[in-house]
Amino acid sequence: MHDSPKPSALHRIRRALLGAPIPTSRAHHERLSPFLGLPVFSSDSLSSVAYATEAILGVLVLGGAVFLTQQIWIAVAIVLLIVIIAFSYQQTIHAYPSGGGSYIVASENLGETAGLFAGAALLIDYVLTVSVSIAAGVLAITALYPFLLKHLVMLSLFFICVVAFANLRGVRESGAIFAFPTYGFVFSIIVMIGFGAYRAATVPSHGQILDPTPWLGKESNHAFMFLILRSFAAGCTALTGIEAVSNGVQAFKAPESANAAKVLRWMAFLLSVLFLGISLLAMKIPHLSLLPNDDRHYTTVAYQVAVYAFGGPHSWMVYVVQLFTALILILAANTAFADFPRLTSLIARDGYLPRYLSRLGDKLVFHNGIIVLAAASGALVVIFKGQLDLLLPLYAIGVFTAFTLSQIGMVVHWLKSREIGWQKSIAINFVGSILCGIVLLIIAYTKFMDGAWVVLVLLPIIYGLFKMIKARYKSMEQQLTLTDEPLPVASGHIVLLLVPRVNRGIMSALEYAKRLKGECQAVHVTLNDKSLPELQRSWASVGGDIELVVLPSPFRSLIEPMVDYVDKIKSSHPGIVITVIVAEAVSTKWYQKLLAESVALQLKTALASRRNVVVANVRYFLN
Amino acid sequence: MHDSPKPSALHRIRRALLGAPIPTSRAHHERLSPFLGLPVFSSDSLSSVAYATEAILGVLVLGGAVFLTQQIWIAVAIVLLIVIIAFSYQQTIHAYPSGGGSYIVASENLGETAGLFAGAALLIDYVLTVSVSIAAGVLAITALYPFLLKHLVMLSLFFICVVAFANLRGVRESGAIFAFPTYGFVFSIIVMIGFGAYRAATVPSHGQILDPTPWLGKESNHAFMFLILRSFAAGCTALTGIEAVSNGVQAFKAPESANAAKVLRWMAFLLSVLFLGISLLAMKIPHLSLLPNDDRHYTTVAYQVAVYAFGGPHSWMVYVVQLFTALILILAANTAFADFPRLTSLIARDGYLPRYLSRLGDKLVFHNGIIVLAAASGALVVIFKGQLDLLLPLYAIGVFTAFTLSQIGMVVHWLKSREIGWQKSIAINFVGSILCGIVLLIIAYTKFMDGAWVVLVLLPIIYGLFKMIKARYKSMEQQLTLTDEPLPVASGHIVLLLVPRVNRGIMSALEYAKRLKGECQAVHVTLNDKSLPELQRSWASVGGDIELVVLPSPFRSLIEPMVDYVDKIKSSHPGIVITVIVAEAVSTKWYQKLLAESVALQLKTALASRRNVVVANVRYFLN
């Protein structure tokens, strides 16, 4: 670029970290094939098998070890739910090829309120996705290296930064980065299930050692039901992330909808297989160690399954499985990093969030959203000290709020559109919406005291915030709209040139002042009476017919007398426009800049609340 | 003030904390009588009796308990030094009625280099004065309440903040605040000495229990001398602060010099009496507990003297003495807070420090200097964990550097001026300069390894910094001076009006653009091709004959296309002046401002390195 100065140091650092900018015209080429799309959008969903089985068992064990046998029925119920919801979302993908997240589907079909609640629910859940996935990923590592347990929080924050950084560099790299760990994870877990199945078939199992005195007696039907429902609700964390594909249809290569639907089907299939496999193997482990029984000597169920399958903790395959688990979990946060900023940009585009969140950065990603997400999820990790079992109860309630609103929205959509085959689609979405609604009630009821209440309180707060922002934008737009009412026309223009001394910098400001129409006055604020006559002499020789106004400064401030003078002119000449010209000698090096006072900035701040006053900063370059 | 808007929240908070501004015309009335001047300028000096005796004993004990008896001769030598140096400074006060700190005296008589070294030495010592005094003050409290010992650093930082805050509110309050504790301290110590003397005379003393096997044998003459000199150097901390009065003559009521000299004499007298009294009583204490022998079970010598004088640790007078000691020590930091900013303003006025340090704030005090001093001394307290015995070896070397340079300067002064009575004055200053020089060598030699080296390294670094700043100011002045060389005259003026959309805000910017001479262009950066035709239609209806230039934005930035366009105009029209007008819709509430993007600021930053470009921000007020 011709004669443009060197970019600033900050600018160069930013470039070095984030790489060169990507032009909008390349946006299409940045899109994902199904092969790269599966890892980007399914890491959240698939990785949940690393903790979903454990979440179910962790609740069941509260009733006594005998209840652990119920686990397999709950797992089957959840797989059924996965299949039905995946079918439901496949309808959405085809109906909304431009990207149909719950926010859009609910807004368009159920109105603003439902849409905003769906949006708020999803935002909360994306934050939790990052916190939960990173916390679980760190636990997969600490299962191998328990001495790291005391650094849970630091490790989690480190990985959040890594993922955020990868996303700031742009989406193409995301697909490439996440393919290997996701496919590696799927493959290694399938191998593990295979080994485990062989072992279960050949080695006589002890079965689980049953506690002969369960905590629950048979007579307590209500408590039994509550426990089963609560463990089912805990297992629903396996469904988080399943909607990610429908939110990001536009990230796929053409044909977008078909590719997205293909990815969704594969994801649901793999999720079901992996989840069922791990759940079945978990039943075969003789001495399962479970929170909260084993308190804080944390070893995950997934790790115990791997140890069982490969015949001991020192098999190298155990390490492979754990490392892939850690990788996919840490990268699962990426689903949220891809979708959270996309969603905030949609909400911002509609005016419910600050508009600058809707702007794509120069790397074709939404920088602001990425940074907000990293900060919020990092805060959660710190607050909950990186402990997965405390974070999990908050999870899933937001997801199912959004699921339910989205599915109901789809039912309304089919009623309105009546496209070919709408009868089949509406039936699928109807079943989906009823099921999601029931699951939502179960989760809210059974997890309320464990933390779900936090989310239920946050939802209306975020909704209120959305509405306030929208109202403010509306009011701003009304005030700014051109109407028949005439705009106030200024009654004149006075140019005030600040003259602290007479030098080349001031002369160049004077030269500029002459390029403005209107009466020009030179203004001097006296801090030192002794130097005044000298200054007045100098001005007389260079100022021509421009009068020098001298302002006393009883409180030794350069700013206040100037502000008072501007106020005086404004009151004696109502409707006048005033331009204040401040000359500034500019050094080029930062350490030289330390010597300069920013009078222009101070004056600008002081005059910021005055109407019809413009501060113009004329710079004279040194060196 | 007519029709001026409400002051900002920040402004109102500042006012509430610091009080109303004080006009320059009241400067004279803010000055101090001798009665109020003594506490303000002597708290540093007098308070040093709280630790000087202990500093001497702490060194002597290294040679074995038998050496402690030498302490009284060292104390007598130091009192002699006090008298001579006070006489020397009295000459300075009369020769420099406008305030003759070491910096001024050395600069004027010995030249720039000596002056700057004196200035650097004093700056370092003022910082140490604050750290040492506050640390010692906190120890006076912990002697009463040992459980507070673990909060040394927090307590010290708290008191530094209190003193800094008192100074930010203005000097008049300083005099009033410090009179009571200083006079209370002097009075209570005199009472203590009286009680102690009575007790020593009536109660048969055990004398000190002498260690029969001193660490030093009689043969080791060199080691003996070194120990004596080192304890003398340690005791020289009693002399710190004695020059404060001569630095601040202008703070006194007229006749300034006579009042200042009177305060100096009283200060030297009281200092000698208190120091000798405490030193004598310390000899009478049977089992003196001393660092480093007693390791970190810190109880001060001054406290042990008070316990001895008043017959036990539970006498209420012990509490009175300790609390006054704590008060005067913590407030002693005030001497530095009065003088450090005064000195930096003198150095800044001469161009060796950033000029804004030379500006009196609206409370007639130098705000910037106060804040710098508080930060630097707070850092020292944190680095040395508030431990007095580690801070003390750094102290006094700066003071005696300045003393020596100042006294030599006075000798030169009398040689040049030959006023009436110059023979007597030059004799006094000559003796003073020789003595100070010898003491300086002793301190540098004996304390070098204990920390004095830090100061000796810092001195030339600060000197170099002074010279660099001066050189930069000189170069700036040369570049800015009006010469016969003609100033470049702009070849024309182009006004660029940024038009992101058409609304009332843009219309008011357009109205402003018409008030500037020169060709006007409207510029639109397209982020969204679809909305472009609509915008062009709107502009056609309101823009009159002003052309709308449309700039594509391949990287989705508002800023870069604008900067490139400005560069293009500059290269095709060399020497042209460009005004970029940015319209901004301004909200009045801070939470409303969160919704606005600061395009003007971003553009200004991006264009900051371009010559002949002025960014004018036209604000349209909402609500």
Partner-chain residue, chosen from A361, A503, A554, that has the shortest CB–CB distance to B23:
A554
* pLDDT at residue A1, rounded to an integer: 37
Percent of chain A exceeding pLDDT 90 equals 31
The answer as to whether A428 is a domain residue is yes
Contact check, Cβ <8 Å, A475/B622: yes
Give the confidence band of A71 by pLDDT, cuts at 50, 70, 90: confident
Mean pLDDT of chain B: 84
Give the confidence band of B2 by pLDDT, cuts at 50, 70, 90: very low
CATH number at residue B515: 3.40.50.620
B515 near A CB under 8 A: yes
What residues of chain A lie within 8 A of the CB of B623, using their CB?
Answer: 475, 479
Contact check, Cβ <8 Å, A4/B616: no
Question: How close A480 gets to chain B, by Cα (Å)?
Answer: 5
Going from the C-alpha of A566 to that of each of A231, A497, A605, the distances in angstroms are 70, 12, 14
CATH number at residue B97: 1.20.1740.10
* pLDDT at residue A332, rounded to an integer: 84
Q: Tell me, what amino acid is at A59?
A: V
Partner-chain residue, chosen from B502, B563, B587, that has the shortest CB–CB distance to A482:
B502
State pLDDT tens for residues A142-167: 888 888 888 889 999 999 998 888 78
What residues of chain B lie within 8 A of the CB of A362, using their CB?
Answer: 555-557
Partner-chain residue, chosen from B1, B563, B597, that has the shortest CB–CB distance to A567:
B1
Contact check, Cβ <8 Å, A480/B503: yes
Together in a domain, B420 and B280: yes
| Probe site for chain A from B495, B516, B562 (most A CB atoms < 10 A) | B516
Together in a domain, B336 and B211: yes
Which of B188-223 are b and which e, b meaning 16 or more Cβ less than 10 Å from the residue's Cβ?
A: bbeebbebbeebbeeeeeeebeeeeeeebeeeeeee
Contact check, Cβ <8 Å, A567/B3: yes
**Nearest-CA neighbor of B106 among B82, B122, B94, B90?**
B122
A22 near B CB under 8 A: yes
Q: Please compute the mean of the pLDDT values over residues B174-193 and round it to a whole number.
A: 86
A502 near B CB under 8 A: yes
| Probe site for chain A from B24, B366, B501, B613 (most A CB atoms < 10 A) | B24
Together in a domain, A518 and A421: no
Q: For chains A and B, what is the number of CB pairs under 8 angstroms? A: 189
Looking at A449-453, A618-622, B27-31, B487-491, which range is the least confident one?
B27-31
Best-predicted range by mean pLDDT (A68-72, A220-224, A460-464, A589-593):
A460-464
Contact check, Cβ <8 Å, B611/A597: no
Best-predicted range by mean pLDDT (A423-427, B217-221, B489-493):
A423-427
Together in a domain, A152 and A236: yes
Determine contact, residues A386/A158, Cβ cutoff 8 Å: no
Residue B207 has pLDDT above 60, yes or no: no
What residues of chain B lie within 8 A of the CB of A611, using their CB?
Answer: 619, 621
Partner-chain residue, chosen from B355, B585, B616, that has the shortest CB–CB distance to A476:
B585
What residues of chain A lie within 8 A of the CB of B472, using their CB?
Answer: 587, 592, 595
Residue B295, by phi and psi: left (phi above 0), alpha (psi -120 to 50) or beta? left
Looking at A182-191, A255-264, B169-178, B577-586, which range is the least confident one?
B169-178
Together in a domain, A515 and A546: yes
* Higher-scoring residue by pLDDT: A364, A320: A320
* Higher-scoring residue by pLDDT: B602, B145: B145
The answer as to whether B348 is a domain residue is yes
How far apart CA B16 and CA A209 sit, in angstroms, is 71
Give the confidence band of A9 by pLDDT, cuts at 50, 70, 90: low
Handedness of CA A83, A88, A94, A96 (dihedral sign): negative
Together in a domain, A304 and A172: yes
**Residues contacting residue B208 through CB under 8 Å, at least 6 positions apart:** B65, B68, B69, B283, B285, B286, B288
Contact check, Cβ <8 Å, A3/B571: yes
Q: How is B302-367 classified by DSSP, letter by letter? A: HHHHHHHHTTSTT-HHHHHHHHHHHHHHHHHHHHHHHHHHHHHHHHHHTTSS-GGGG---TTSS-H
The answer as to whether B566 is a domain residue is yes
Residue A127's Cα: distance from chain center in Å?
6
* pLDDT at residue B186, rounded to an integer: 95
Together in a domain, B332 and B428: yes
Looking at A606-620, B146-160, B171-185, which range is the least confident one?
B171-185
The answer as to whether A29 is a domain residue is no
The answer as to whether B19 is a domain residue is no
Question: How close B614 gets to chain A, by Cα (Å)?
Answer: 6
Phi then psi dihedrals of residue B497, to 5 deg: -105, 120
Percent of chain B exceeding pLDDT 90 equals 31
Determine contact, residues A339/A123, Cβ cutoff 8 Å: no
Percent of chain B exceeding pLDDT 70 equals 88
Contact check, Cβ <8 Å, A504/B487: yes
Residue B415's Cα: distance from chain center in Å?
34
* Higher-scoring residue by pLDDT: B198, A554: B198
Mean pLDDT of chain A: 84
Phi then psi dihedrals of residue B418, to 5 deg: 50, 45
Give the domain-ending residue among B448, B474, B500.
Answer: B474
Question: How close A560 gets to chain B, by Cα (Å)?
Answer: 11
Q: Which tokens belong to B340?
A: 């450090």
Give the domain-ending residue among A473, A500, A517.
Answer: A473
* pLDDT at residue A617, rounded to an integer: 86
Contact check, Cβ <8 Å, A490/B511: yes
* Higher-scoring residue by pLDDT: B50, A597: B50
Tell how strand B519-526 and strand B548-552 pair up. parallel
* pLDDT at residue A405, rounded to an integer: 93
The answer as to whether B104 is a domain residue is yes
What residues of chain A lie within 8 A of the CB of B604, using their CB?
Answer: 617
State pLDDT tens for residues A470-500: 998 898 888 888 887 777 777 889 999 999 8
* pLDDT at residue B365, rounded to an integer: 54
Q: Please compute the mean of the pLDDT values over residues B387-392 and round it to a whole number.
A: 85
Question: How close A567 gets to chain B, by Cα (Å)?
Answer: 6
A352 to chain B: nearest residue by CA? B595
What residues of chain A lie within 8 A of the CB of B619, using their CB?
Answer: 608, 611
Question: How close B22 gets to chain A, by Cα (Å)?
Answer: 6
B570 to chain A: nearest residue by CA? A3
Give the confidence band of A592 by pLDDT, cuts at 50, 70, 90: confident
Residue B364 has pLDDT above 70, yes or no: no
Together in a domain, A455 and A514: no
* pLDDT at residue B414, rounded to an integer: 92
State pLDDT tens for residues A322-342: 999 999 998 888 878 877 888
B588 near A CB under 8 A: yes
How far apart CA B3 and CA B10 sit, in angstroms, is 20
Partner-chain residue, chosen from B362, B490, B571, that has the shortest CB–CB distance to A556:
B362
Question: How close B527 gets to chain A, by Cα (Å)?
Answer: 9
How far apart CA A377 and CA B204 sit, in angstroms, is 74
Contact check, Cβ <8 Å, B555/A503: no
Residue A282 burial (CB count, 10 A): 25
**Nearest-CA neighbor of A274 among A93, A53, A450?**
A53
Give the confidence band of A364 by pLDDT, cuts at 50, 70, 90: very low
**Nearest-CA neighbor of A380 among A130, A105, A23, A35?**
A130
Residue A240 burial (CB count, 10 A): 28
Together in a domain, A131 and A256: yes
Residue B97 has pLDDT above 60, yes or no: yes
Partner-chain residue, chosen from B504, B515, B594, that has the shortest CB–CB distance to A577:
B515
A530 near B CB under 8 A: no
Q: Please compute the mean of the pLDDT values over residues A605-611 and round it to a whole number.
A: 82
Looking at A85-94, B23-32, B204-213, which range is the least confident one?
B204-213
Give the confidence band of A312 by pLDDT, cuts at 50, 70, 90: confident
DSSP state of A293: T
The answer as to whether A191 is a domain residue is yes
Whole-complex ipTM: 0.70
Contact check, Cβ <8 Å, A556/B586: no
How far apart CA A482 and CA B511 sit, in angstroms, is 14
Determine contact, residues B122/B343, Cβ cutoff 8 Å: yes
Residue B404 has pLDDT above 90, yes or no: yes
Give the confidence band of A375 by pLDDT, cuts at 50, 70, 90: very high
How far apart CA A511 and CA A264 sit, in angstroms, is 67
Q: Which tokens belong to A457?
A: 């309180």
Partner-chain residue, chosen from B614, B622, B623, that has the shortest CB–CB distance to A617:
B614
Q: Which tokens belong to A498?
A: 């600040």
The answer as to whether B418 is a domain residue is yes
* pLDDT at residue A568, rounded to an integer: 93
Q: Please compute the mean of the pLDDT values over residues A292-316 and round it to a whole number.
A: 78
Residue A567 has pLDDT above 80, yes or no: yes
Contact check, Cβ <8 Å, B556/A4: no
What residues of chain A lie within 8 A of the CB of B479, using their CB?
Answer: 504, 585, 622-623
* pLDDT at residue B135, rounded to an integer: 93
Give the domain-ending residue among A410, A440, A473.
Answer: A473
Question: How close B14 gets to chain A, by Cα (Å)?
Answer: 15
State pLDDT tens for residues B124-161: 999 999 999 999 999 999 888 888 888 889 999 999 99
Together in a domain, B426 and B499: no
Question: How close B617 gets to chain A, by Cα (Å)?
Answer: 6
Q: How is B537-559 classified by DSSP, letter by letter? A: HHHHHHSTT--EEEEE-TT--SH
How far apart CA B177 and CA B166 sit, in angstroms, is 9
Residue B256 has pLDDT above 90, yes or no: no
Domain count, chain B: 2
| Probe site for chain A from B364, B478, B508 (most A CB atoms < 10 A) | B508
Together in a domain, A135 and A81: yes
- The DSSP bridge partners found for residue B427 are none
How far apart CA A388 and CA A128 sit, in angstroms, is 11
Together in a domain, A598 and A508: yes
Residue B507 lies in domain: 492-621
Contact check, Cβ <8 Å, A2/B571: yes
